[in-house]
Chain A
Amino acid sequence: MSAAAVKTGSMSPYHAQDGLLLEVENLHVEFHTRYGVAKAINGVDFSLRQGECLAILGESGSGKSVTAQAVMGILDMPPASIPAGSVKYCGHDLLTMPEDRRRKTRGPEISMIFQDALSALNPTFPVGWQIAEMFREHRGMNKSDAYAQAIKLMERVSIPAAKERVKAYPHQFSGGMRQRIMIAMAIALDPAILIADEPTTALDVTVQAQIMSLLQDLQHERQMGLILITHDLGVVADVADRIAVMYAGRIVEQADVRDIYARPAHPYTKGLLESIPRLDLKGQELAAIGGLPPNLMKIPPGCAFNPRCTMAQDVCRVDLPPLVEVAPNRKSACHFSKEVLGA
């Protein structure tokens, strides 16, 4: 048992036990709307280690972004509420922590980048000011030192002519550059965990690759735990170590990235992989998962995926399959995971 400081040379009060940064257990999130209660997250468990990249994969409405926001503590409550679960950062439960203490973890310990950097950056302040604000607010640094740090960070994320552009506004940058600024801001205080919520979805393909490789470099350089939220299987394959696939607010499969691509253990994952267009199957009809994701106010009994599943039997409509270990280091929540694996 070794207790190492999360970040070398930092004064962080948090220490990771055996490199374990984050443990999310039985997390539930509900949204109370005038039409009823939407159960966005229904018992999610995962963990993250130092230097590890976990990808959370799922289609819109599967709860991947809500999971990230719950971990980050930026859900609007109300309408959202967290009826059960715990989010432990280095052993400290963030959900029961006083808000003032928790607030101080955002930035220095856990940090987040968002999908659309244009709307995520404040349009009325210069980008350098927005990066420098991290140092000024969390470190109490004076203006010129904070700006110097901001320029350094902008150079680190490869923004050309950082010194001249530090006073420019978000709308004066291209989409890719804006996302770099977002990243610079998020890594400013050298956080132990970086959550990237669809960081490349709003960008074009060539820029996507650049941003992903920047994130990867930074992750290796700083030994950050990276949670990558995406619906893009291509992005995941290159970067992630482990994948958690979400459906209707649950993790339905969790495994190392190679295993999951080679042999999925859940029909939903299988369907996702089969729906990737492939060059060698050009001209054939693209396999798609039929039907739509369930309404979160009326999640079907049993396995939430059963109405769309080609393998569904009676048991799937009644019993909710738990997420269990089906092979070393991999979990699946399917009554027929052995059959899926064997197929």
Chain B
Amino acid sequence: MTKYVIRRLLQMIPVVIGSTFLIFAMVFALPGDPLRGKCGERPCPPAFVAEFRAQHNLDDPLFLRYFKYLGDLLHGDLGTTYQGLNILDELQKRYVVTVKLAVIAMLFEALIGVLAGVLAGIRKGKFIDNLVLVTTLVVISIPTFVIGSVSQTVFGVKLHWFPVTVKSNPGWYDLLLPGLVLGSLSLAYAARLTRTNLAENLRADYVRTAVAKGLSRSRVIGVHTLRNSLIPVVTFLGADFGGLLGGAIITERIFNIRGVGGYIFQSIHSRDGTAVVGAVTMLVIVYLLMNLIVDLLYGVLDPRISHD
């Protein structure tokens, strides 16, 4: 187990290097001048341009710049934005918000999604099953920005249940509505995945054995069927949580949340290459770690998978 974790962590090194390089190359290949508009209506003075370019290594060849960047990264330095702000500080501030949002979305998906899936799965073909199928289909079919804007209008503007937009240091309650919006799509998938797997496993031989053992129906389903049925759901939710931790550009924009997604969007917009690479590098690492956790959890749920 420990060996497995170490091996996986070591495997992350080439993945991080490779992916950051790709992002690095792509971001700096984007057309556009970071200095455009920096000095008002007129072009910047040549001396300022020269200093700015030198400070951000903009005239070095790509590889050299990448290695300089990697060197800084190893010291835990993600660099500074073109505005001279420390990227690590910026990200930390925004990450608190993104993590809160992701946790709300994840709890919503996991609890309500699995519950709906179980109810539908054990009553396959009945009313509750059809209700879940239709509702989830509707959620899947509607784009996030529609769900987001509509719920903002209904629950925020009209009913005043939730704040319409999110303030700069949001609490859990401020982020509740955006979290639910963010989680709704994956909730629909999680519910359907749970339903299908549960309904399938209910026909398995070992479930018949559990019935033959004289166990109660709740135990047959809750203990003997659910465990196997949740393995693919956990995989899905884990990967999804990794994605959620990368921020949610659309939801963050609708509710004016200053999270990581918005930060990346803004940085791409202002051609701030260093900030983009810094943020994305961190996302890559978070995603890889989430995947590792999912794989470890997989081994806990299914003893046939061994990590020795």
Which residues of A approach B to under 8 Å, CB–CB?
72, 74, 76, 103-108, 111-112, 114, 116, 119-126, 133-134, 137-138, 169, 171, 185
Q: CB of B227 within 8 A of chain A?
A: yes
27 A-B interface contacts by CB (under 8 A): A74-B211, A76-B203, A104-B214, A106-B212, A107-B212, A108-B214, A111-B212, A112-B212, A114-B208, A116-B205, A120-B206, A120-B208, A121-B209, A122-B209, A122-B210, A122-B224, A122-B228, A123-B206, A123-B304, A124-B301, A124-B302, A133-B215, A134-B213, A137-B214, A137-B216, A137-B219, A169-B303
Which residues of B approach A to under 8 Å, CB–CB?
203-206, 208-216, 219, 224, 227-228, 301-304
Q: Roughly how many angstroms separate A125 CA and B224 CA in the complex, as a whole number? A: 9
Q: Roughly how many angstroms separate A104 CA and B211 CA in the complex, as a whole number? A: 11
What A residues does B215 contact at CB under 8 A? Answer: 103, 133, 137
> Which listed residue (A105, A111, A120) contacts B205, Cβ 8 A?
A120
> Which listed residue (B203, B214, B216, B224) contacts A105, Cβ 8 A?
B214
What B residues does A126 contact at CB under 8 A? Answer: 303
A212 to chain B, nearest CB (A): 21
Q: Roughly how many angstroms separate A46 CA and B206 CA in the complex, as a whole number? A: 28
What A residues does B216 contact at CB under 8 A? Answer: 103, 137
A-B contact count (CB 8 A): 65
> Which listed residue (A107, A112, A124) contacts B303, Cβ 8 A?
A124
B201 to chain A, nearest CB (A): 10
Closest B residue to A169 by CB, please name it.
B303
Q: Is the CB of B213 within 8 A of A72?
A: no
Q: Is the CB of B304 within 8 A of A119?
A: no
Across the A-B interface, the 9 shortest Cβ-Cβ residue pairs? A106-B214, A107-B214, A119-B205, A122-B206, A169-B303, A120-B205, A120-B209, A112-B212, A74-B211
Closest A residue to B227 by CB, please name it.
A124
Q: Is the CB of A114 within 8 A of B302?
A: no
Q: Roughly how many angstroms separate A119 CA and B303 CA in the complex, as a whole number? A: 15
Q: Is the CB of B213 within 8 A of A124?
A: no
B130 to chain A, nearest CB (A): 17
**Contact (A114, B211) CB under 8 Å given A122-B224, A123-B304, A124-B302:** no
Q: Is the CB of A171 within 8 A of B212?
A: no
B298 to chain A, nearest CB (A): 12
Q: Is the CB of B214 within 8 A of A138?
A: yes
Q: Is the CB of A123 within 8 A of B303?
A: yes
Closest B residue to A103 by CB, please name it.
B214
Closest B residue to A100 by CB, please name it.
B216
Q: Is the CB of B205 within 8 A of A171?
A: no
